[in-house]
Amino acid sequence: MPTVLIIDNNASMVLLLEMMLSRAQYKVFSAPNGKQGLEMARINQPGIVVVDEMLPVMPGREVCLQLKSDPDTRHIPVILSTASLVQDPLAHAHSAGADAVLRKPFRADDVLALLKRLLP
């Protein structure tokens, strides 16, 4: 069963993603801030990480950069979740080291398609 780490401080968003992904047969765990999420990723080695851009303690972009610069976690696909209105959200995500971007608001199909595309 593939594992997904959700790093988001919005409890409602985490609950929504947990319910959606659990139904799709993913094992889900979460962290409420960037620092804890980074530690959980290093310890648990999830199949994929979904990280919110706006986080307390350590922003999501910094989490992406650190995950991708660490030899122990650089192989883990990272999706940057954002409500940002930047011109090119994918380029914005790639500049942080993320493999993909998930624009908020999103549909369940969008999330599941990204996971299917990025998970081995």
pLDDT confidence of residue 14: 96
pLDDT confidence of residue 50: 97
> At residue 80, what are phi and psi to the nearest 5 degrees?
-90, 120
What pairing do the DSSP bridges indicate for beta strands 48-52 and 78-82?
A: parallel
* pLDDT band of 87, cuts 50, 70, 90: low
Query: How many domains does the structure of the chain reveal?
Result: 1
Question: Does the pLDDT at position 93 exceed 80?
Answer: no
The continuous run of DSSP H or E covering 87 comes out as: none
Question: Which residues form the domain of 46?
Answer: 3-118
Q: How many residues does the chain have?
A: 120
pLDDT confidence of residue 113: 95
Q: Euclidean distance between the first and final Cα of the chain, in Å?
A: 12
pLDDT confidence of residue 82: 86
At 88, list the tokens.
């090119």
Its pTM stands at 0.93
CATH code assigned at 76: 3.40.50.2300
Q: Is 7 helix (H, G, I), strand (E, B) or coil?
A: strand
